[in-house]
Structure 1
């Protein structure tokens, strides 16, 4: 017997779990399918910005999130050293956290389940189900099971099988960042800062990207680096070797493992982070795209968790509203929400992405940022806006 739901969510990460939780607040029947068994690892920097924390608080997870390692500032090496505190904004936290994805994602998935969503783990989506008009009417699982739904929310990642099966492109010229990270012990205090290293060189070229060192607590850290694919020779970069070179620039007294040791322990993970709307419009009849399947990474930093949560919550709310007021053929309300929230930011991101790929431009920009006088002027202007500069990390 085939069961039918109001919403089928493909993917149980932050975007999918947030969408499922939000839809349950309106009483919709929801099923979440994910190919993995939770807890499962997910390559990530593990940093939660203040805005990400605000969404988790909104979902009723303030107490649980406070158990993660708290960070109160961003320390930048450009290569000179300077700091940013998280800005104080009405109704917003002035701090962030560092949370390992196995713990964070399991927390979110269980939260969606506690709200009434049906969770099916080890249930991999093979592709969408379509009616005669081409509208998505559910999900076909590997093994042949059909999950029928009035609408599908595709939160199935950067390599979205739903998007690939529909052969969708984007009206915008989205782009990607390539990132790699490893978790490891370090002989250093559990600091309260997210450390960002902006001087990232490949064969003498300044790259549009940065390295990071994020504290996980209990003497462990997450170290990684990322760069966007606007750099002409990005495909020539061996990310693992590059990470090894970055590790060698960090203080020797930390006693970090070598890249060879990290590879042997299988803690090195690389991934692709789509940015700048790689699916636009963010819906087709019967389906909405969210998180990495939408290309929701923050253009300036690649931060993905806050964007996943924001787009997931919006997708869940907009899907239920559209189904109640016209049906699954038109989710323009979701496109309007995303355009209003991110449109201007992502247009700027696509523009600067092209510029930053030129090593000369990237080097000039870094030199300006490393100038304290110019930097203070820039940060003063940013702090006068609606969002402080630390939010952009």
Structure 2
């Protein structure tokens, strides 16, 4: 007979590895599966907010984080330049990090394995197993192998095979962003600031999105841009060409490569980022969704790593708690946890997502943000809020 597990985690990105690590802390019999062999690349901005760093610290990775490039704030071009420092929050760092995803994701997966989770790489989950009632009872791998478990956490990405096989939908589905980035050398000193460019124009329209330059250390940078799909003409944008235009707008003395050079070296990577709960409720009997499979990206900024870590850790904890005290048919504890943590924030974010899709609204918002008096008041309010407990 094949081995049966307490919990199977499909997907070994930040959400999946955090879930497996969290569940393994209890002594549960956990298996984590991923179709790739690590280290593997993953398109991303590579920036970790202070909140993301705090979750990694909670996982016991403080020493490992010391080797990553530290950033102390954000330089915003709107188009005037202004700086944001990371706010001081009780029990949280006041800095962020930049780290390549092959490095971060491999670190997290090995950490889950060290905690007791069984790791299988090059094992692609293609569908869930279900019993006669429809409850998920395990997974099916490419090649036909089946593995059973009391519960499954689907952390298998924005195109989640488990979610698609279950034909799941959500009233919040459809909120997403398109992002593209490239990593490259830059002839400029290493910075300790993330840079954000808010003025993005397409055929005269102010786009709901932003460009970024994230310093990676060692003379390298991650440069990219993203925009949300509420803009009516988003499908007309050639993301690669648009990234090329953004690169050309940056200082010539940085000696950045052209978009054609980056394409030849296969440095250009694009991806879709679901956001605002594209799987809700975030569970069905036998299965919980985390990370991009949940649509955990922030509807305003698209920031995903901190949300992936938070949802993964919550899913791992709630899954084991439910299995211990009730069984795999009801993971309402996870739904309540996510609603309490993100419900209000994501509701506001979905409204914002719709509004800024109108170029006139986006342009007016940018003009307002570029007004020094308004901006100073807004920042004071945000920093004051950051001093107390929050879930942003």
TM-score (norm 1): 0.98
- In structure 2, the CA distance between the partners of 1:249 and 1:347, relative to structure 1 (3 Å rule), is same
Residue matched to 2:325:
325
8 Å CA contact 2:4, 2:149 repeated in 1: yes
**Alpha-carbon distance in structure 1 between the residues aligned to 2:173 and 2:137:** 28
Return 5+ residue gaps in structure 2 as ranges.
none
Would you say 1:256 and 2:256 are equivalent positions?
yes
In structure 1, what is the Cα distance between the partners aligned to 2:2 and 2:242?
A: 50
Deviations 1:137-179 (A, max 9, x none): 0000011111110000000000000000000001324500000
CA contact (8 A) 1:128 1:138 kept: yes
Structure 1 residue ranges, 4+ long, deviating more than 4 angstroms after superposition: none
Give, in whole Å, the separation in 1 of the partners of 2:3 and 2:171: 35
Displacement of 1:333 after TM fit? 0.1
Partner residue in 2 for 1:102: 102
Aligned 1:118-157 pairs, distance under 5 A: 118-157=118-157
- Alpha-carbon separation, structure 1, partners of 2:7 and 2:117: 10
Give, in angstroms, the shift of residue 381 of structure 1: 1.3
SS in 1 for 2:169: coil
Matches of 1:227 and 1:262, distance apart in 2:
21
| Contact kept in structure 1, 2:88 and 2:386, CA below 8 Å | no
Q: Which residue of 2 aligns with 1:52?
A: 52
Tell me the CA shift for residue 386 of structure 1: 3.4
**TM value normalised by structure 2:** 0.98
Write the deviation string for residues 217-276 of structure 1: whole angstroms up to 9, x where unpaired. Answer: 000000000000000000000000000000011111100000000000000000000001
Whole-Å separation in 2 of the counterparts to 1:230 and 1:92:
34
Asked if the contact 2:151–2:319 (Cα under 8 Å) also holds between the matched residues in 1, the reply is yes
Task: Tell me how far apart the structure 2 counterparts of residues 229 and 57 of structure 1 sit (CA, whole Å).
Answer: 34
2:361 alignment counterpart: 361
Confirm or deny: 8 A CA contact 1:200 1:209 kept in the other structure: yes
Equivalence map 1:26-37=2 (5 Å): 26-37=26-37
Deviation at 1:341, TM superposition (A): 0.2
State the 1:183 CA deviation.
0.2
Residue in structure 1 matched with residue 64 of structure 2 by the alignment: 64
Residue aligned with 1:43, SS: coil
Match of 2:231 in 1: 231
The alpha carbon displacement at 1:387 in A equals 6.2
Match of 1:384 in 2: 384
CA RMSD of aligned residues (A): 1.0
Which stretch shows the higher mean deviation, 167-176 or 343-352? 167-176
Q: What's the CA shift string for 1:116-137, capped at 9, x where partnerless?
A: 1111000001100000000000
For residues 256-303 of structure 1, what are the alpha-carbon distances to aligned partners after superposition, in whole Å with 9 as ceiling and x for unaligned?
000000000000000000001000000000000000000000122101
Q: Which runs of no fewer than 5 residues in structure 1 stay unpaired?
A: none
Over residues 7-31 of structure 1, what are the superposed CA-to-partner deviations in whole Å (9 max), with x where a residue is unaligned?
0000000000000000011111000
Q: Which residue of the partner structure matches residue 25 of structure 1?
A: 25
Residue 199 of structure 2: aligned partner = 199
| Contact 1:174–1:295 (CA under 8 A) maintained in structure 2 | no
Contact 2:127 2:161 (8 Å CA) reproduced:
yes
* Number of residue pairs the alignment of both structures matches: 390
Q: Tell me if 1:346 matches 2:346.
A: yes
Alignment of 1:243-322 (within 5 A): 243-322=243-322
Q: Deviations over 1:14-71 (max 9, x none)?
A: 0000000000111110001100000000000000000000000000001101210000
CA distance in 2, matches of 1:387, 1:280: 31
Q: Per-residue displacement from partner, 1:65-89 (whole Å, max 9, x unpaired)?
A: 1210000010000000000000111
Matched, 1:86 2:86: yes
SS state of the match for residue 385, structure 1?
helix
Give distance in 1, aligned partners of 2:172 and 2:247: 36
User: Matched residues in 2 for 1:387 and 1:242: separation?
Assistant: 39
Distance 1:386 1:219 in 2: 33
Q: SS of the counterpart of 1:119?
A: strand
1:336 Cα deviation (Å)?
0.2
Instruction: Determine the C-alpha separation between the residues in 1 that align with 2:73 and 2:278.
Output: 31
